[in-house]
Amino acid sequence: MPYTKEHKNRSRDRIIASAITLFSSRGFDNVTLDAVMAHAGMTRGAFYNHFNSKQDLYAEAMNTAALQSPMASDAPKGVELVEHLQCLVENYLSKAHLQDAINPCLMAFMVTDVANQEPEVRKTYTRIFKGFSKRLTEMMDGDDTHHKQHAQALAALMIGGVAVCRTFTDAKLVDEVLAACRQLAATVIEVD
């Protein structure tokens, strides 16, 4: 008896969730399809019912993580966009976000890994970065070149700040760099 569409969707979602977890912690080259499928509680044979290749899964993991990110959320009712942006930036540039193994930010956690991947994977990352920057521009309540440039700089600051802090072994330095990034981000937001 064939599986239902709902069952297939749940299986696909489990594979993607496992891929997000494993790729963000180990990188593309250090994760096998067997590892992803074992993490998802499935056999390798089931993989090809959902994806054509490991690169396809990698790209889909980035897409899904971006859509699930708090950065993709709308401001709560009664909260101004800029206030919502300030809160999101504070949370993004925090130790809690840096250490979040359940919902890692693939933009920061995979930045150097993606640079070494096939053009299609890099195109996916580029598209997600553009969407991230566009979202920041919208929250800055502008769409002109000035706002776009500030949003791109803010996105790079946020992603880079988290990516760099992931490499440190000095907890005090992590705190200092995250605080410096938050402070600079606040000035970028206030300028607009």
Prediction pTM value:
0.82
Quote the pLDDT of residue 2.
67
Quote the pLDDT of residue 81.
76
Please indicate whether residue 7 or residue 151 has the higher confidence score (pLDDT): 151
**Distance (Å) of CA 161 to CA 71, 72, 107, 177:** 16, 19, 11, 7
In three-state secondary structure terms, 135 is: helix
In three-state secondary structure terms, 104 is: coil
Task: Give CA torsion, residues 58, 19, 156, 190, to 10 deg.
Answer: 130
Q: What are phi and psi of 153, to 5 degrees?
A: -65, -40
Q: What is the pLDDT of residues 118-128, one digit of tens each?
A: 888 899 999 99
Split at pLDDT 50, 70, 90, the class of 103 is low
| Amino acid identity, position 151 | A
Average pLDDT, the chain: 88
Strand runs labelled E in the chain: none
192 contact partners, CB below 8 Å, separation of at least 6: 82, 140, 141, 142, 146, 147, 150
Question: How many other β-carbons are positioned within 10 Å of the β-carbon of residue 121?
Answer: 21
Split at pLDDT 50, 70, 90, the class of 79 is confident
